Each structure stands twice: as structure tokens, then as C-alpha cells.
Amino acid sequence: MWRGLVCLLAAICGPAHAELWAYVDGAGTAHLADRQLSGAYNLVLGAPDSSKGRVPGKQDGSRHLLTWLEIAPEVKAVQPYLREAAAKSGVDMALLKAVIAVESGYKISAVSPRGAIGLMQITPDAAARYATLLERLQPAEKRLLDPRTNVLTGARMLADLIKRFGRIDAALAAWNAGEGAVRRAGGLVPPIDETQAHVHLVLELYWTLLQNSMHASAQHLTIHSDKP
């Protein structure tokens, strides 16, 4: 799934006269600059001088993914549940959409080799921890195949992880590698290749969705420029 999303995001950017580099950090702050200030920044608009070769840019490549997220029937089918989950949990709807896209590609019946089920790929153990009393009347394996229950459960879980670790990136790392791995890393993303790739891709897609919708969940905006 990650490879497929990377291909969509890595289309070649067309010529432009200006550049916009950006990233969303683990605290949900969007950083913008007119040049790449560090390796964390990604090109989201424009292209460098053509004499230096063309560089993959996010805007054109991400447009394909954003179009799919807007028109795909499987995405539209869960939109009401995403709105409900965001309202009840306080987790940004764009972040929920990014997690689902990376975790399951919006396949309701997806089951991983590790036994994670449904849209957000939740294990039965995690489902038991975050289930309501009413939800516990059904076996976890069955209720996680219900998209509404799955999304609401996942939103409660992600909200709890964000509260525990105080950072979106650490919460996503705990989702992928477990809370113990994040604690052993001092509350940061642990040095696990799979986990780092997972966190980077979710945040990259989250930023793309925020950029597209100008969503208010990027609570702060920092613009860096040498220009007066």
C-alpha cells in the first residue's frame, strides 16, 4: 500500500516560477518556506531551476490521489463515519483519512497477516481496549468489519495515543509499533525503518490534505523567508 501511494505522490512537477516547500511536524504545525531549509521540507509547489534538472514535486502528483479521495465510491461510503468520528473524538478528519489511506487503502474487509482488521487495520486486542459496552456484545473480529464501528474505534484509539504522547508523530508510531517502542525511544518515533516510513507517509498525506482544503486543524503556520 505504501508503494502505491508513493507512486501517486511522486509524479513530476511541471515548470513554475516560484517554489513552496513545506512540512507538517509531529505537533500538527504547518511550516512553509520559499526554499528547502532542511531535509524535513518537501517541495509542494513549483520546481527548481530547470538547468539543475527537474525534481519530483508534491502538488501535481498529489492531485491524482486527492481526486481519488474525492470521487472513489469506497471513500464516499465512509465519509459520514469520518465526520462522526472526528466530531466525537476531536481527531482531525484529514488525519483520519490519511491513516485509512495508508493502512488499508479504504478496503473495508482488509485483514493483515498480523490479524489487523478493516479500514484502519485494528487488532482485536486494541478493539477490546477501545470498545464501548454496546460494542463488546459482538466479537471483535465481527464488529471491526463494520466500517462505522471500525472508524469510531480507530478514532478513539488515535485520540488516546495523541493525548498520551502529546505529538501526532509519536501517536502514529505507537499505532504502528506499539506504545512500548515509543516509550523506549523517549516518547519519539523509534528508529524502526517500517515505523519511520509509516509515520512519514501518513504525515505527508495529512499535509497534502490540509494544503488542499486549508483545514483549520493545522493550528499554527510558520512562514520562513529571507525576503523583507
Which DSSP string do the residues of 105-140 spell out, in sequence order?
Answer: TT-TT-B-TT--BTTTTB-HHHHHHH--TTGGGS-H
Q: Are 40 and 21 in contact (CB under 8 A)?
A: no
Tens-place pLDDT, residues 70-79: 888 899 999 9
pLDDT attached to residue 58: 33
CATH topology of domain 66-213: Lysozyme (1.10.530)
Distance of CA 57 to the CA centre of its chain: 18
Hunting for cell 506504545 — which residue is that?
179
Kind of pairing, strands 221-224 and 30-33? parallel
In this predicted structure, the answer to whether residue 205 has a pLDDT above a threshold of 50 is yes
Q: Work out the mean pLDDT of the chain and round it to a whole number.
A: 78
pLDDT attached to residue 190: 96
Look up the pTM and report it.
Answer: 0.72
If one compares 97 and 6, the residue with the highest pLDDT of the two is 97
- 94's grid cell: 484529514
Q: List CB contacts of 154: < 8 A, sequence separation 6 or more.
A: 85, 96, 99, 100, 119, 120, 122
Band the pLDDT of 195: cuts 50, 70, 90. Answer: very high
If one compares 212 and 44, the residue with the highest pLDDT of the two is 212
Catalytic residues, which ones? 103
Distance CA 225, CA 118 (A): 44
